[in-house]
Amino acid sequence: MSHHIIEAQDLYFVYPDGTKAINGISFKIIHGESVGIVGSNGAGKSTLIMQMNGFFLPTSGSLKIGATPVNEKTKVDIRRHVGLVFQNPDDQLFMPTVFDDIAFGPLNLGFSKEEVEKCVDESLKMVGCLELKDRPSHHLSLGQKRAVSIACILSMGPDILVMDEPSSFLDHRSRRDLINLLKKFTHTKIIVSHDLDLILEVCERCIILKDGKIQADGKAKDILSEENILKQNNLELPLTLQKNNILK
Amino acid sequence: MSFNQFEFFDLGYLDYLSYKDTFIHRIDPRAKLIVSLIFIITVISFPKYEISSLFIYFFFPIFLIAMADLPAKVIIKRIFIVSPFALMIGIFNPIIDRKVIITIYGLGITSGWISYFSIIIKFILTVSTGFILIATTSFPGICLALEKLKVPKVFVLQLMFIYRYIFVLGEEVVRTMRARELRSFGKKGYELSIAGNILGTLLLRTIDRSERIYQSMCSRGFTGNINLSKKINFTLTDLLYTLILSAMFIVLRFFSGSYAVGRMLLGKGS
Amino acid sequence: MHMADALISPAVGIGFWAASISVIALCANKLKNTFNDKIIPLMGVMGAFIFAGQMINFTIPATGSSGHIGGGLLLTIILGPWAAFITISSVLFVQALFFADGGLLALGCNIWNLGIYPCFIAYPLIYKLIAGNSSNNKNIMIGSVLGVILGLELGAFSVVSETVLSGITELPFLTFTGIMLPIHLLIALVEGTVKGAIIIYVKNIQPDLFYAENHSDNAFLNLKKALISIGVLALITGGIFSWFASTHPDGLEWSLGKISGQEELPPKETELHKNLSRLQEKTAFLPDYSFGKQESREPENASWLAVSGGTSVSGIIGGIFSLGLTILIGIVIKFFRKRNLVNTQ
């Protein structure tokens, strides 16, 4: 295992219609780190994580996962190591039942039926939803759907978890459950979110993006408490750090 | 073929029923599928003027409704909501075929009415069997059965996708319709061009969604092959269920139970 | 215009099942060879789209009634014929199960009527020739309307043929055709217009979406292939019909005879009916079945001839009595289930 698990060097990405989404980004993420990526709408967050999974290949510059550069040849292999949790669980869970969905990945990896069964059980246990195994996906609550989405990524045994807006659609209780769950994982985590409080709790490091460039990169506690930096990037202090409380 | 908001919620109800846990729900989906097919084939194989022998076949839906703890009222109501194509076409029988064949208290009954009545009975029997099948078997179970019965995988996968996304897209449409209703002030129905635009938008969103689903599939190792794996065991109970019921249907097809019971009741020896 | 179980004979049902399943297998095979794996999720959500789209009822101008979209041609334009046929079949399967639209045995007929014609005839012969890959709105609209008309009219004609072949209804072939075709012409006009509007709308926003057009090079239908597949289909259809003709030697004659003999020849009617009922006995179960003799031993429940005198009365009374008894047993089972439930709780 290489020390740097993700390494971007002068990364650029331009959409086919000419939109410049990523404009020269360089960063290194080490094994076991959890990193929050924040920024206003259109800052390039989603584009960046789609690159980590090989859906968008770099226009120029390079992106390495472990020692492997992401390109047309390696992208299938890379997806095994990078588990992407989508923003909308209805896009991610496409099979009729929870079991089928979680089994989808392991079956593609060529596991035997017994291994698949075991894998499904273990992943569901990890997210605390074993009882949902035979339920159809459309009967689940949004919190449950989120947990199952994470389980179907875990079943692939990834090294890196990448999540797009994990707390969207969730009520407070489900959000809290999710935060506790994420804190338990020892994987390298990359979380893209508008929910700065979640990032503050789960991630030790934070990167701010604006117009496809890195504006700040450092300890989450430091960056997310700097009101000036946040304002410049159209962000706000996390609610837990806001002092001009209404009650005051 | 009509599919409106009301039926959309009804679809959810049938789906909900199919996840109950009763003896019938636990039977292997293959067994239920095969038994239902044999039942339907037997029922419609009766000649067109047959009525009395068909009555005895009601035992099957009634038995299932009772054993599977289904709400009989809902099933009956649904049978009558179903597209009445068969009944509309059948009504020509009494109009065209007017030969009086039996007179009861001076009231002549034509063979047309008898064949029409036979169509109605067959209609109720076949439609209720379909509903009961889906109310006692979860749809993923049916897909699994089809897969095990060697139906092409692409087709089975289609069914799974439809089942998964019918609810998602259905809700999307309900939301769109609500939004439109809010601003249409009681006007019902859509002008063609508006319907075209709404459907077009929905179509675009659907295609975008398929793109995201494809990404989700790829990020879990999809390379064009779909593997389905779920073990189901065809137990002795399933086998007995299939054999006993099928045998009953076929025996009753050739030895009418109705006549035997009727003769007994009227005290006539056979 | 879904065909219903109650209107068909087992032979027609099973025959069309066999035909539809073979076409599905053919399409599945085609898809395997020309695989672009993106089409799998697209087909799936397009099937769900057809359902969801049917929830939107639009007003049919000048009639006050309302209609909704069917699927075939639109799916074919987006997915290409092979994928579209599988998708429309799966939609019909779900409709048969959840809405009892059609029914399980009539499913084969319905797949045939609503799938084959738009996918393999209306699309290549009408839409593709008129609208092609052009982005001319007028061509798209004309192609769509004419395509839907051809598809639906052929489907309606099939419904008539299947019904008459089954011999459950008395409706004469010509009258039936005379009713069905004009009704479906009206439906098709509206549906074709809406589909045209959808395609034009989508093309204006995202012109590169149309799968079939963009992939015409890799083995999706071109005209030559279309003609070949129609030839094959004609053979299959011909095969089915000739199978009927050979196993039921007078099946077609019978329906024809009925049309001509219906009004003017009352004296012959009884004779005809006797023949009919004998024929019904013969055709009642699968062709070449071996139960014929058994039935002639029990003529009283074999045909309408028996509907007279004591036997039929006892049959009907017995039937009603058994019905009542089963309902009673059903209620008793339910009652005990509920009590058990209360006890265990």
HEC assignment per residue over C144-198:
HHHHHHHHHHHHHHHHHHHHHHHCCCCCCHHHHHHHHHHHHHHHHHHHHHHHHHH
Instruction: Indicate whether A12 belongs to any domain.
Output: yes
Domain count for chain A, please give it. 1
In a domain, A246, yes or no: no
Look at residue B142 and tell me if it is in a domain.
no
Q: Are residues B251 and B186 in the same domain?
A: no
| Chains B–C, number of C-beta pairs less than 8 Å apart | 412
* Chain B residues within an 8 Å CB radius of C331: 66
Tens of pLDDT, residue by residue over C175-191, are 888 888 888 888 888 88
Give the Cα separation of A49 and A108 in Å (integer): 23
β-pairing, A4-14 vs A20-30, is antiparallel
A115 CB neighbours in chain B (<8 A) are none
**Is there a contact between A104 and B222 if contact means CB atoms under 8 Å apart?**
yes
Q: What is the DSSP string of C11-37?
A: HHHHHHHHHHHHHHHHHHHHHHHT--T
In this predicted structure, what is the pLDDT of residue C229?
52
Please indicate whether, in this complex, the C-beta atoms of B221 and A97 are within 8 angstroms of each other: no
Angstrom CA distances, B263 to B260, C120, C312, stand at 5, 55, 10
Q: Which of residues 208-227 of A touch B (CB under 8 A)?
A: none
pLDDT at A132: 92
How do strand A20-30 and strand A160-164 relate by DSSP bridges? Answer: unpaired
Whole-number Å distance between alpha carbons of A141 and A175: 13
pLDDT score recorded for residue C219: 38
Is residue B28 domain-resident? yes
Q: Say if residue C216's pLDDT is above 90.
A: no
The minimal CB distance from B220 to the residues A50, A90, A108 is found for A108
Which tens digit of pLDDT belongs to each residue from B203-248?
888 888 988 899 888 888 887 777 776 777 888 999 999 999 999 8
Do residue A95 and residue B160 have CB atoms under 8 angstroms apart?
yes
Characterize the bridge pairing of strands A34-38 and A205-210. Answer: parallel
Identify the pLDDT of residue B51.
83
Residue B235 φ then ψ, to 5°: -85, 175
H-assigned helices in A130-226: 142-154, 172-184, 196-202, 220-223
Q: Give yes or no for residue C258 having a pLDDT over 50.
A: no
DSSP single-letter state for residue A17? T
Confidence tier at C269 by pLDDT (50, 70, 90):
very low
The C-alpha atoms of residue C141 and residue C77 are separated, in whole angstroms, by 13
Chain A: list its partners (3+ Cβ pairs within 8 Å). B
Q: Determine which of B99-108, C264-273, C307-316 has the lowest per-residue pLDDT on average.
A: C264-273
Are B23 and B77 part of one and the same domain?
A: yes
Is A229 in a helix, a strand, or coil?
helix
Q: What pLDDT is attached to residue C276?
A: 45
Residue A44 lies in a domain: yes
Retrieve residue A215's tokens.
């504006």
Model confidence band, residue C284 (pLDDT cutoffs 50, 70, 90) = very low
The beta-carbon neighbor of A108 closest among B138, B227, B231 is B227
The answer to whether residues B91 and B210 belong to one domain is no
- Mark whether B163 and B131 lie in a shared domain: no
Contact C104 B203 (CB under 8 A): no
Question: How close, in Å, is residue B208 to chain A by CA atoms?
Answer: 10
As a whole number of angstroms, the distance between CA A106 and CA B222 comes to 10
**Would you kindly state where each structural domain of chain C is located, as residue ranges?**
5-247, 308-344
Which tokens go with B14? 């049938």
**Interface contact flag, A100 B221, Cβ < 8 Å:** no
Looking at the structure, do residues B250 and B122 belong to the same domain, yes or no?
A: yes
- Given a contact cutoff of 8 angstroms between Cβ atoms, the answer to whether C212 and C220 are in contact is yes
Provide the number of structural domains found in chain B: 2
Q: Does residue A31 belong to any structural domain of this protein?
A: yes
Q: How far does the CA of residue B216 sit from the closest CA of chain A (Å)?
A: 5
Is the domain spanning C5-247 CATH 1.10.1760.20? The answer is yes
- pLDDT over 60 (residue C257): no
- List the single residue in B102, B123, B170 with the smallest CB-CB distance to C308: B102
Nearest-CA distance from B25 to chain A in Å? 14
Which domain does A156 fall in, by range? 4-240
**pLDDT at residue C293 in the model:** 33
Predicted local distance difference test score (pLDDT) of residue C271 = 45
Q: Which residue has the tokens 């003999």?
A: C261
Query: In this complex, which of C89, C169, C284 lies closest to B92 when CB atoms are compared?
Result: C169
Q: Which residues of C215-251 are buried (b: 16+ CB within 10 A; e: fewer)?
A: ebeeebbeeeebeebeeebeebbeebeeebeeebeeb
Please give the residue that has the higher pLDDT: either B253 or B8: B253
Backbone angles phi, psi at C67, to 5 degrees: -135, 180
The domain containing residue B103 runs over which residues? Answer: 5-137+235-266
Strand boundaries in chain B, DSSP class E: 100-104, 107-110
Q: What confidence tens digit (pLDDT) does each residue in B116-153 have?
A: 888 889 999 998 998 999 999 999 999 989 988 888 88
Q: Supply the pLDDT for residue C252.
A: 32
Are the Cβ atoms of A94 and B164 closer than 8 angstroms?
yes
- With 50 as the cut, is the pLDDT of residue C260 above it? no
The pLDDT tens digits of the residues spanning C308-342 come to 444 456 666 666 766 777 777 777 777 776 666 66
Q: What is the CATH number of the domain that holds A158?
A: 3.40.50.300
- Whether the CB of A79 is below 8 Å from some CB of chain B: the reply is yes
Q: How confident is the model at residue C292 (pLDDT cuts 50, 70, 90)?
A: very low
Q: What does pLDDT average to over chain B?
A: 82
The confidence score (pLDDT) of residue A204 equals 93
Mean pLDDT of chain C: 69
Are B256 and B127 contained in the same domain?
A: yes
| Greatest Cα pair distance in chain C | 73
Residues B70 and B202 in one domain: no
Query: Are B126 and B252 within one domain?
Result: yes
Cross-chain residue pair A108–B231, CB shorter than 8 Å: no
How much is the pLDDT for B15?
Answer: 86
Specify the pLDDT at position B267.
Answer: 65
Rounded Cα gap, residues B203 and B197, in angstroms: 10
Q: In tens digits, what is the pLDDT along chain A, a chain of 248 residues? A: 446 789 999 999 998 888 888 999 999 999 989 999 999 888 889 889 889 888 889 999 999 998 889 988 888 888 888 999 998 999 999 998 999 899 998 988 888 888 899 999 999 998 888 999 889 988 899 889 999 999 999 998 888 999 999 988 888 988 999 999 999 888 899 999 999 999 999 999 999 999 999 999 999 999 998 888 898 888 888 888 887 656 65
Residue A168 falls within a domain, yes or no?
yes
Of A219, A194, A191, A217, nearest to A204 by C-alpha is A219
Distance between start and end Cα atoms, chain B: 47
Contact A237, A227 (CB under 8 A): yes
In a domain, A69, yes or no: yes
Sign of CA dihedral C260, C262, C267, C269: positive
Residues with Cβ < 8 Å from A216, sequence gap 6 or more?
Answer: A206, A207, A208, A223, A226, A229, A233
User: Of A51, A111, A81, nearest to A187 (Cα)?
Assistant: A81
The C-alpha atoms of residue B38 and residue C309 are separated, in whole angstroms, by: 32
pLDDT at B29: 92
Q: Which member of A99, A104, A138 has the closest CB to residue B167?
A: A138
Residues contacting residue A237 through CB under 8 Å, at least 6 positions apart: A196, A224, A225, A227, A230
